[in-house]
Homo-oligomer: A and B are copies of this chain.
């Protein structure tokens, strides 16, 4: 369940956001009314998303954002900035500092929800999960594992790198020399059966999905997203 931190000193805005978020989907909410509190919460609780008003007492939103970006614990947390009226100055300044999105008050609740959902979807795909999903394949870059039709398949480091290289460009034929370079670091066009052997081992582990790795005779191999 994603955690969202709302930073705003106006209670009715916090409430408006909270109500809309809670109604739409299941989120855990954190609230802060000033910059220091926000920074502390962000660094200890590590929310998945921060909605940050630019107008805050004492420490303004841009400063809070700068602080967030300077700490490795929070540098990757996406931020949606809020401001009264969409003043271009602040807008550009916010984007320049790496805000991930921007919302001008008064905003439409529907737009807020959509922006939150989009941002969470993007970051989940990457940072949190590091999952590459294609068809029935789900490759976990963190655990170095493959999930396939409910089964959890252990891959060796070489197999993982090979499958990753193939799966990252579905439908596209990769030449033998390219794969040898990507996975083994071979720079020359080496005559070796190593690649074939590992392809075979991969196909074995993929079981009935082994034919997702297609041989392109004389060229290389190709990953098919759909089993023919």
Residues on A lying within 8 angstroms of B by beta carbon are: 72-73, 76, 88, 91-92, 95-96, 98-101, 108, 110-111, 114-115, 118, 121-122, 125-127, 130, 134-135, 141-144, 156-157, 160-161, 164, 168-172, 225
Identical chains in the assembly:
2
**Which of B88, B122, B160 is in CB contact (< 8 Å) with A122?**
B122
**Which of B92, B121, B130, B160 is in CB contact (< 8 Å) with A144?**
B160
**Which of B92, B144, B161 is in CB contact (< 8 Å) with A143?**
B161
Q: Which residues of the other chain, B, contact A95 by a CB distance below 8 angstroms?
A: 111, 114-115, 118
Q: Which residues of the other chain, B, contact A122 by a CB distance below 8 angstroms?
A: 100, 122
Q: A72-B170, A91-B111 are in contact. List 19 more A-B contacts (CB 8 A).
A: A72-B135, A72-B225, A73-B169, A73-B172, A92-B110, A92-B111, A92-B114, A95-B111, A95-B115, A95-B118, A98-B118, A100-B118, A122-B122, A126-B127, A142-B168, A144-B160, A144-B161, A156-B157, A157-B157
**Which of B99, B135, B142, B160 is in CB contact (< 8 Å) with A164?**
B142
* Complex Cα gap A91–B110 (Å): 11
* Complex Cα gap A157–B160 (Å): 10
**Which of B96, B121, B160 is in CB contact (< 8 Å) with A98?**
B121
